[in-house]
């Protein structure tokens, strides 16, 4: 019988192999293309944040940061919408990606200073099968997103047309405040 230590190691290696993005598994990315993706990732937040952030491209850390922030050139694979997240946001995205509950214990912040034009989402359902055809489809220009403990969301509208901050995904474990900083 194989020990649990080796079984766990085998499972970890198998999972790493299965989730390694195709861009790094089957082909190499040119230095110029990688530099462009890094610049795109950094464009999501002010240089004071993105300048020392960890940069993740296609699921692989390509720049090891020092300030606790993580920037990516794509919010979801291939959407070309960059974001920079603190540790709380990264934890929430991990929970969301695995359809697990998430209860924030503190405030989390994400920057999307390039907005999400063209790849908006359902304002109520992060798993909507066809976001662009959702009744509550919304696109937001440059914005911040703030995760707070759920009790702090009371009294904040979930209407994206209210002209100010609003709650996205209100009745889900991934509820957060959208803070537009510029109109589309």
As a whole number of angstroms, the distance between CA 56 and CA 58 comes to 7
C-alpha R_g of the chain: 18
Average pLDDT over residues 17-38: 63
* Arithmetic mean of pLDDT over the chain: 82
As a whole number of angstroms, the distance between CA 146 and CA 110 comes to 6
Nearest to 74 by CA among 131, 119, 10: 119
Residue 8 · residue 15 · CB < 8 Å: no
**Could you report the per-residue pLDDT of 143-161, keeping only the tens digit for each?**
999 999 999 999 999 999 8
Task: Please give the model's pTM, rounded to 2 decimal places.
Answer: 0.80
- Bridge partners for 72 per DSSP: 83
**Could you report the per-residue pLDDT of 51-64, keeping only the tens digit for each?**
999 999 988 999 99
33-44: string of b/e by CB count within 10 Å (b at 16+)? ebeebbebbbbb
**Could you report the per-residue pLDDT of 85-118, keeping only the tens digit for each?**
999 999 999 999 899 999 998 999 999 999 887 6
Maximum distance among all Cα pairs of the chain, rounded to whole angstroms: 63
Q: What is the dihedral of CA 159, 165, 169, 170, to 10 degrees?
A: -80
Main-chain dihedrals φ then ψ at residue 91, nearest 5 degrees: -65, -45
Nearest to 147 by CA among 108, 96, 112, 180: 108
């Amino acid at each position: 019988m194989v020990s649990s230590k080796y079984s766990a190691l085998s499972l970890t290696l198998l999972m790493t192999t299965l989730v390694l993005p195709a861009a790094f598994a089957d082909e190499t990315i040119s230095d110029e293309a990688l530099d462009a993706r890094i610049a795109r990732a950094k464009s999501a937040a002010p240089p004071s944040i993105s300048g020392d952030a960890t940069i993740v491209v296609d699921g692989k850390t390509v720049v090891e940061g020092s300030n606790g922030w993580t920037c990516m050139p794509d919010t979801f694979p291939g959407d070309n919408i960059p974001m920079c997240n603190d540790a709380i946001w990264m934890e929430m995205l991990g929970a969301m990606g695995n359809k697990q509950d998430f209860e924030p214990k503190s405030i989390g912040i994400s920057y999307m200073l390039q907005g999400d034009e063209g790849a908006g989402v359902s304002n109520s359902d992060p798993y909507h099968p066809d976001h662009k055809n959702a009744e509550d489809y919304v696109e937001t220009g440059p914005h911040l997103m703030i995760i707070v403990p759920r009790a702090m969301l009371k009294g904040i509208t979930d209407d994206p047309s209210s002209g100010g901050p609003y709650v996205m995904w209100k009745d889900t474990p991934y509820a957060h405040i959208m803070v537009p900083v510029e109109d589309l």
